[in-house]
Every structure is written in C-alpha cells, then in structure tokens.
Amino acid sequence: MSGLLADRVVLVVGGTSGVGAAVARVALREGATVAVAGRRRDHGEKVAADLGAMMFVPCDVADVEACRAVVATVVAAFGRIDGLVTAAGLTDRGSLLDTTPELFDAQIAVNLRGPFFLMQAAVADMVRRGEPGAIVNVGSEASRGGAPVLAPYAAAKGGLATLTRNAAHAHRFDRIRINQLDIGWTATEGEDATQRRFHGAGDDWRTRAGADLPAGRLAAPEDAAEMVLLLLSDRSGVVTGSVIDWDQQVPGAHD
C-alpha cells in the first residue's frame, strides 16, 4: 500500500461486483474510507463485509432519488465525499430495429441519467465545502459506435462521454477532476451472465473469446481498477475531461 487515497472518502456505485468491486478493493488498499452501493441489499452487505468496506448503501441508479440519497447518506456518515466512481451498468442487448422504448429508457436511466445525478449530488457537496474532488465514470468502448446489438447501450455511453467532458469543463476551477475510462471486453460477472443469456455461451466462452485477442485473454476487472485508482489519485496530476480508451484493440486502426 502506498496510501494514494489516504484520508479520502470514496463512494463506488456498482461496487458490489465486477469492475466496481475491484475498484473498491484497491481504494481500500490505498487507505480510502470506502462506501459501496448496489441494488441488492443482501448481496451488497456480504460483499461490503468481505471487502472490508466501511458502508454498504442500497441504490438503484435508475432511480434519481436513490442516486441523490446514496450521496447524502455517505456525506452524513463521513462528513464529505472526496471521490466518486460510477461503475453500475446495464448491457441488455438491442439493435436499432428491435429495441423497445422500455429497453431504450432503461439503458438511458442506468448508463446516463443515473451517473448525471450521482455527479450532481457529489459535486454539490464538493463545491459547498470548497474542496477538490475526483470523479471517474466507467464507460465503454461501445461509446464509439459499438456492435449492432448494443444500439441503446452505445447511445447511452456516448452520452456519458459527452457529459463527462461537459461536467469537467464546468467544474475545472472548482478543482474537481472528472474523467472517464472506456473499457473494452472485460471478464466480469455481469458479462458472463450477458454472454450466457443473450449469446448462448458455454463455460468455455472466456477462453474462446480470449484466444482471438492480442493478450490471449479478456481484460480483468482488477486491470481496470488500477487505472481508475490512478485517475482518483493525485498521481494523475491535473488531468480532467479525459475519456480514455482502455482496451487491447486500437479504435480506428485496422489491418
């Protein structure tokens, strides 16, 4: 441990699985006071206890009032919020032709509207106290276009990238750094469920998928978590408003 987040209060929304849980783990390792949020209380409380997190707060990011409440709960418990990670996501499939209004609205609610109001609440606390802060949104390489079956997801994540830049610009003189990590194909619990539900994948899908990638494997949540840690910490310097491609494929390049 190098204490990169010592004496900081960090809220990880979507912190009970996948990249979010990995972020919570490294934030704790680096000395932060960590609160994790997720939809399922029973699962979340167990994960929080296993991680050693100081608090679990139930939060459905599709619910605006829940987004406001989770930040308020953290501020009430610890006096402030110094860092926010929005890692919750919905990846249900839908193309341009078969996406229903209900699926579209759900994608926007979880992947765009929720982060908006989480950031709103966190930034309000930082501005009220006149203190700096750091926010990292977990985005997706699909924000650049994505596969045909990711139409509403890509639209929402593309909106998140623009929101990240807008919020970072608006609050740069408040010393609130807001960045986004657009991750590529990563072997999370949620991705496993998605592959099985929508694509009929078997137990060997990770191995088969990784064989066609440059590293010979899918990315791991722990890989992404280390980059999120960097963006939360002072080691990332003054950077703000950056949307970082984090993948083993190079966007725009081709053979």
Looking at residue 47, its pLDDT comes to: 85
Total domains present in the chain: 1
Q: Is residue 3 part of a domain?
A: no
Question: Has 153 been annotated as catalytic?
Answer: yes
> Distances in Å between the alpha carbon of 227 and those of 127, 132, 247?
25, 20, 12
Domain that holds residue 49: 9-184+219-245
Q: Is residue 209 part of a domain?
A: no
pLDDT in tens, 137-152: 999 999 999 999 999 9
Confidence of residue 1 (pLDDT cuts 50, 70, 90): low
Q: Is residue 253 part of a domain?
A: no
Looking at residue 106, its pLDDT comes to: 97
Distance CA 241, CA 163 (A): 9
Res. 186: pLDDT tops 80: no
Q: Is residue 101 part of a domain?
A: yes
Q: Is residue 55 part of a domain?
A: yes
Q: What is the pTM of this model?
A: 0.92
Catalytic residue (choose from 56, 84, 111, 153): 153
Res. 100: pLDDT tops 80: yes
Three-state secondary structure along the chain? CCCCCCCCEEEEECCCCHHHHHHHHHHHHCCCEEEEEECCHHHHHHHHHHHCCCEEEECCCCCHHHHHHHHHHHHHHHCCCCEEEECCCCCCCECCCCCCHHHHHHHHHHHHHHHHHHHHHHHHHHHHHCCCEEEEEEEEHHHHCCCCCEHHHHHHHHHHHHHHHHHHHHCHHHCEEEEEEEECCECCHHHHHHHHHHHCCCCCHHHHHHCCCCCCCCECHHHHHHHHHHHHCHHHCCCCCCEEEECCCCCCCCC
> Distances in Å between the alpha carbon of 180 and those of 164, 205, 208, 224?
7, 28, 29, 12
Query: How does strand 55-58 pair with strand 33-38?
Result: parallel
Q: Is residue 206 part of a domain?
A: no
Percent residues over pLDDT 90 in the chain: 73
Q: What is the CATH number of the domain that holds 89?
A: 3.40.50.720
Q: Is residue 120 part of a domain?
A: yes
Res. 192: pLDDT tops 70: no
Query: b/e per residue, 112-151, with b = 16+ CB within 10 A?
Result: bbbbbbbbebbbebbeeeeeebbbbbbbbbbbeebeebbb
Q: Is residue 251 part of a domain?
A: no
Looking at residue 195, its pLDDT comes to: 67
